[in-house]
Amino acid sequence: MIRKTFESEIQQVKDEVLLLGSMVEHAIIGSVEALKKRDIKAAEKIIAEDKEINKKRFAIENQLMILIATQQPMAHDLRLLASTMEIISELERMGDYAKGIANINIRMGEEPLLKPLIDIPRMAQKGADMLHRSLSAFINEDVEAAKTIPMEDDEVDALYNQIYHELMLIIIQDPRSIERANWLLWVGHNLERVADRVTNICERTIFIATGEFGEIKSSDDEFWKGQQVQHK
């Protein structure tokens, strides 16, 4: 095979992306787990590990720059390398959401949780699972999977919706709970954004494989429409 060296360097980049992805997955699950247990030490560890995520992202970016400069990628190779640049930035942002959840955990201090966490860990699990599969789709350039995974965003949105209404109800019943409710709402929002970014990864995967840019319809618009109706 010609371009053996280039092929193996591309493979290395893909391996690194998977590694970055697993660090982010771990951070998402870990941040919610720490919140559930109100484990401040674990939250601090998540924040420290986010630095590693950022470092890894810059290392991959550097690798990509060198490949672009030295190998002059064209066509599929070019789409792959340019899109990988986008994907690692999505992953890093997802890591920031996990860090945000860890920060909320720390800011809550001694305050107990407003309610036992049930739907929030479900959201985290679902988001992490979607992320995992979206990266497999990216590695295998599986267009079918890349098209269907974003559909599951509806489930995440439904959970978020549920959390939102539940927390609103609690606030109405006891306005003193506003701050604590708001923290959890924030956590839910971060997890909802994780799933949105999975959609972006899937869009990139489709572009790499087909050369076609396309936005996968997000159910978010529906979500916000739903909120407006209820305010009226």
Partner 1 sequence: MQNTQPPEYAIETKNLFIFYGSFAAVSEVNIKIERQKVTAIIGPSGCGKSTLLRAFNRMNDFVPSSYVTGEVLLHGQNLYGSNIDPVEVRRRIGMVFQKPNPFPKSIYENIAWGARINGFKGNMDELVEQSLRGAALWEEVKDKIHKSAYELSGGQQQRLCIARTIAIQPDIILMDEPASALDPISTLRIEELMQELKKNYTIIIVTHNMQQAARVSDYTAMMMLDREGSRSGTVIEFSETKRIFTNPKDKRTEDYVTGRFG
Minimum distance from residue 78 beta carbon to partner 1 (Å): 6
What six digits make up the tokens of 11?
A: 């493979």
Of 73, 96, 132, 170, which lies in the binding site for partner 1, with binding defined by CB under 8 A?
73
Of 75, 144, 172, 175, which lies in the binding site for partner 1, with binding defined by CB under 8 A?
75
Quick note: the x/- pattern for partner 1 over 170-209, rule CB under 8 A, is ----------------------------------------
**Residues 79-108 interacting with partner 1 (rule: CB under 8 A):** 79
- 214 binds partner 1 per the rule CB under 8 A: no
CB half-sphere exposure, 62, CA atoms < 13 A: 6
Of 6, 9, 177, 185, which lies in the binding site for partner 1, with binding defined by CB under 8 A?
6
Minimum distance from residue 67 beta carbon to partner 1 (Å): 13
Question: By the criterion CB under 8 A, which residues form the site for partner 1?
Answer: 1-3, 6, 72-79, 211
